[in-house]
Structures are given as C-alpha cells and as structure tokens.
C-alpha cells in the first residue's frame, strides 16, 4: 500500500505509456517535474516494470545525475514480501538482478536511448527506507500496543530523524486541545501530522511543496493508523490553503543571512524571506485566538510585524540559539 502511495505521488500509479523492452520488462517515463525530485539530468527518469503471471510490478526508478561526474542513480522498489504470494519478492529481485547483469550500454539504452554513451563515474542509491522511530521519546507511542510502527522515507523528503522536528513536535503535543482544527505546513514525511492526529484524534491537514512529501505524509498516516484523520495536499506556503485553523505548526527552514555557509534549502531560509512572508500572511489563516507554532531563532523581534506577538515555548541550541515559539495576533 505504501509503495502504491509512492507511485501515485509520482503519477505512476496507472500503467500507461509503457514501452516493452522484451523478456517481460517495461519502461515508463516519469514526468520531468517528478524526475527533477531525483535531481535527474535533463529531468529524465524511467520506471522499470516486470510482468509476472499477468501482473506488472514496479522494480526500480533509474536516472542519471551530476554534471562533471555523471552517476547512474537508482531507487529500488522491490518489497520484502507481497500479498500475491511468498515467491513474488524472490522473482522480482531476480528479474532486477538479471536486468543489472546486462552490458552497461545495453542497460542504459533500454531505459533511455540517449543515455547509451553516458560516461558514468559512479552509482547513487536513492531507495525507499523503512525504519522504526526508536530514538524518539517513548511517550509519543504510548498508545501503541506494540513497538512504534515502521515508517517509510521517500527520496527527496526531509527525514523525521532531526532535532528540529522533535523539538517542534514535543512543544505542539502539549498545546493541542480537543476538537481543534490543525494544519501542519512543510509536512515532510508526515511524522508530525500523523502523530498529532493520533494523539489528539483531531483532523489534521498537512501541506508541502514537494509532491513526494505529500505522498510520504499519506504513507506515514497509514502506518500510524490515522489515514482517515490526515488530509494532505501540495501547496507552496499558503497558495492552496483555503480555511482557518486553531493551530498551525510549521517546521520552517532557519532564517540565515546571505553570508551563511549553509545551503540546504530544507534548513536555510536566506535573509528570512520565507519567515517574513509567513508572518505577513498568517492572520488570514488563523481563527480568532488561533496560534502559529514554529521552530526558529530565540529572538524573533526583527521579523515580527506590528500586528503579531510571540513567546518562546522552549529553547535549545544547535549552533544557533533556537526556540519553539508561539505566535498570535495582537
């Protein structure tokens, strides 16, 4: 099911426009916008499928990446087990290995003819990653009968294993109230939205600019058993947000000046442009007495419009003095 959600996030859930390359293999091109999520050269990427007993299964996504040194990228999609039968995983793994055993020129030209003569300098692996959030506070999963469930991470999505998310989620869990309407912006893999929904039993909306993050949010909600409580869609900030909320949580990239050496767009908001835009627009999307909870600098005074006030809910230090802050309209 989570693999289906991943493919749907890439608009690959329908087996259309497939090209047969023989021996049961099919190739399906990704839309350039989705290929770009893998940092694919020329926005070209291809999904390899294999037919077994009349059903066509996804094996892997392939792409070339890098300019000076071109690497052959792949995202393996073969699962450990399938509901169709215990032998399916073994058959698909063998089929994928057979495909890899071809001469490089044959393999590349089968996927994309113009890749045939690419001067490859290495391989990069961007597979789906399943793991249990064992390093998170145990009380987050106190209502689970067994251990915390496995959560899947899709390529290009910001990982839940980061201290910023943990600090924001810890603070937000203490602030939620019954029947509140909640929005999580920049949802990433959806861990925060799913756990807020699980603990509060409130409907939680979740948005992200990355379509794979939206898909990952849906997959995480499914893993945590709250797929009926989490609604996720793609939006660039407030672009496709149409309602007002009691609580909005946003794990913002950190506002840094242009002299900063940090260039990870997941964590760097140059000159605080995103933070300023968020604060300028936030009152349109908060109910009366609603609040925004964000991770950012401890001192937000230089970013705050006159119609807003803030207070630190918690403070921590990771290179910079940071805080989880609650922001309200004055």
Question: What are the residue ranges spanned by the domains of the chain?
Answer: 2-127, 131-329
What's the rounded mean pLDDT across residues 176-199? 95
Q: How far apart are alpha carbons 74 and 64 in whole angstroms? A: 9
Mean pLDDT to the nearest integer, 161-190: 93
Dihedral in degrees, nearest 10, Cα atoms 170, 213, 208, 294 = 20
Better-scored residue on pLDDT, 16 or 276: 276
The structure tokens listed for 66 are 């890098």
* Of 321 and 278, the one with more pLDDT: 278
Q: What is the pLDDT of residues 52-61, one digit of tens each?
A: 999 999 999 9
pTM for this entry? 0.90
pLDDT of the residue at 193:
97
Task: Say what the pLDDT of residue 236 is.
Answer: 94
| Comparison of pLDDT for 312 and 158, the residue scoring more | 312
Higher pLDDT, 138 or 172: 172
CA distances to 24, 250, 252 from 194, in Å: 39, 14, 18
User: pLDDT band for position 142 (50/70/90)?
Assistant: confident
pLDDT band at residue 99 using 50, 70 and 90 as cut-offs:
very high
Decide: 246 and 216 in contact? Cβ < 8 Å: no
Q: What average pLDDT is seen over the chain?
A: 91
* Cα–Cα distance for residue pair 218/190, rounded to 1 Å: 7
**pLDDT at residue 154, rounded to an integer:** 95
> Options 2.40.37.10, 3.40.50.300, 3.90.1150.10, 3.40.50.150; which CATH number does 131-329 get?
3.40.50.150
- Phi, psi of 286, deg, nearest 5: -105, 135
- Res. 133 pLDDT band, cuts 50 70 90: confident
């Amino acid at each position: 099911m989570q693999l289906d959600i991943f493919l749907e996030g890439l608009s690959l859930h329908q087996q259309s426009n497939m090209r047969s390359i023989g021996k049961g293999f099919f190739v399906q091109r990704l839309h350039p916008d989705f290929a770009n999520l893998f940092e694919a050269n020329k926005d070209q990427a291809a999904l390899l499928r294999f037919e077994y007993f009349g059903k066509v299964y996804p094996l892997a996504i392939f792409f070339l990446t890098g300019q000076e040194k071109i690497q052959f990228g792949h995202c393996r999609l073969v699962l450990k087990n399938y509901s169709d039968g215990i032998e399916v995983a073994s058959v698909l793994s063998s089929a994928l290995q057979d495909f890899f055993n071809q001469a490089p020129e044959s393999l590349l030209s089968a996927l994309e003819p113009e890749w045939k003569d690419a001067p490859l300098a290495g391989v990069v692996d961007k597979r789906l990653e399943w793991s249990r959030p064992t390093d998170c506070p145990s009380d987050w999963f106190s209502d689970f009968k067994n251990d915390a469930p496995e959560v899947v991470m899709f390529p290009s999505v910001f990982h839940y294993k980061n201290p910023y998310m943990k600090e924001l989620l810890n603070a937000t869990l203490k602030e939620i109230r019954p029947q509140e309407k909640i929005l999580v912006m920049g949802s990433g893999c959806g861990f925060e939205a799913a756990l807020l929904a699980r603990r509060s039993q409130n409907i939680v909306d979740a948005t992200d600019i990355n379509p794979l993050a939206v898909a990952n949010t849906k997959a995480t909600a499914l893993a945590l058993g709250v797929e009926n409580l989490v609604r996720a869609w793609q939006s660039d900030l407030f672009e496709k947000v149409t309602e007002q909320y009691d609580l909005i949580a946003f794990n913002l990239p950190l506002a840094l000046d242009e002299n900063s050496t940090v260039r990870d767009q997941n964590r760097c908001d140059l000159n605080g442009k995103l933070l300023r835009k968020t604060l300028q627009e936030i009152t349109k999307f908060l109910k009366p007495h609603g609040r925004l909870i964000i991770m950012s600098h401890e001192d937000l005074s230089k970013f705050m419009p006159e119609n807003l006030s803030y207070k630190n809910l918690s403070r921590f230090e990771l290179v910079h003095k940071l805080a989880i802050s609650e922001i309200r309209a004055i």
